[in-house]
Amino acid sequence: MSDPTFSTTSFRQLVLANLGLVAILLTCGPAFAAVSPPLGAAQSFAVLGATPNVNNTGPTVVTGDLGVSPAAAVVGFPPGTVIGAIHAADATAAGAQSANTTAYGVLAGEACNTSFGVPTDLAGMTLAPGVYCFASSAANTGLLQLDAMGNANAVWVFQIASTLITGSASSVTVINSGQACNVFWQVGSSATLGTTTTFVGNILALTDITLQTGASLSGRALAQTGTVTLASNSVSVCGLAGSLTPTTLTTQASPAVPLGGLIHDTATLSGGVAPTGTITFQLFGPNDATCTATPAFTSTVTVAGNGSYSSAGFTPTSVGIYRWIATFSGDAANAASATACNDANESVTISTGGAQIGLTPTLSAWAMVLLAVFVALAGFVAMRMTAG
């Protein structure tokens, strides 16, 4: 007769061995890699709100574009500073919101590597690249480290069903070659960064994003339907090392003027990530239809973010058609861009202007004077004859 204790022990050992084998197989199987979503028109925005506004108090510094759409209110700038362009209820902000919605959907659809079923505090954790899913809320009250393990292209995606809240003085850091721009927080409701929090990554929240006093963010704060609230913060749009963000220059020359008038050119730089560098304006003379000769005039301005920049004025000395070319130098994160010779809106016609009567009469003017004298004399003689 068999020993029941031995049989039970053997069965348990067999089950544990099989479970271990299954675990090994699962571990060795292919994992779902996190993927960065395309940010498109939202790429250049450090802060993007929806409604009712983007609201700031204190000396916040936003490096990158700031926008709001469909609402139009941007409150608190100044005293806040934007090193970039402000887009309020314009086509650029609307396009950024559309791209934000698309990116949010892409993030929400990525397959999970690790799931948390209850509210989870990430403090003290070191996380490898992957997709982390939270059935409810996520928090960080201490130090969270994201370890790229030497892979500069490593991506982290955090899918959070409800809120993201960080504690005061908490921090998130990326280590071992990781990049802040490859961290994405898809938040199902609102995100709140506590006072003096140091945070990295792109926050794409369905509703509101709040940065409490002194919190800093290297990444983006993109609110899809709500407001972004700032309070003496530093928000800097991130860029990936080794890649240049494309930029676009659109230009508008001043209108035609008569000889002796002043002309200038205006260039609007867009698409860059907190661009720096310079824009150089070159003006080519009326006998240079291909813009290949030495420019008649050159003006250079310093770039401090996306936005519009104007050349110094120039007074042409010859009539004809003058042509402008504008060139953005690019910088470590942004690609150079330029307009071309004979681009639309980049030509200015200089004309002789209307005839002017000088102090010395011309021959025609003397003839008019003599005619007037003759008419006056004829009238005088006629009057004398009538009186006689």
Nearest Cα to Cα of residue 247 among 83, 38, 44:
44
Nearest Cα to Cα of residue 182 among 223, 97, 240, 109:
240
Q: Which residues contact 98 (CB under 8 A, 6 or more apart)?
A: 40, 41
Distances 366 to 361, 363, 370, 377, 387 between C-alpha atoms, Å: 6, 5, 6, 17, 32
Q: Which residues contact 11 (CB under 8 A, 6 or more apart)?
A: none
Average pLDDT over residues 9-30: 36
Q: What's the pLDDT band for 1 if we cut at 50, 70, 90?
A: very low
Structure confidence by residue, pLDDT tens digits, 149-180: 999 999 999 999 999 999 999 999 999 999 99
**Which CATH number does the domain 248-351 belong to among 2.60.40.3930, 1.10.760.10, 3.90.580.10, 3.50.50.60?**
2.60.40.3930
Q: Where in the chain is the domain with CATH 2.60.40.3930?
A: 248-351
Pairing verdict, β 320-328 and 278-284:
antiparallel
Average pLDDT over residues 257-263: 93
Structure confidence by residue, pLDDT tens digits, 81-100: 998 889 999 999 999 999 99
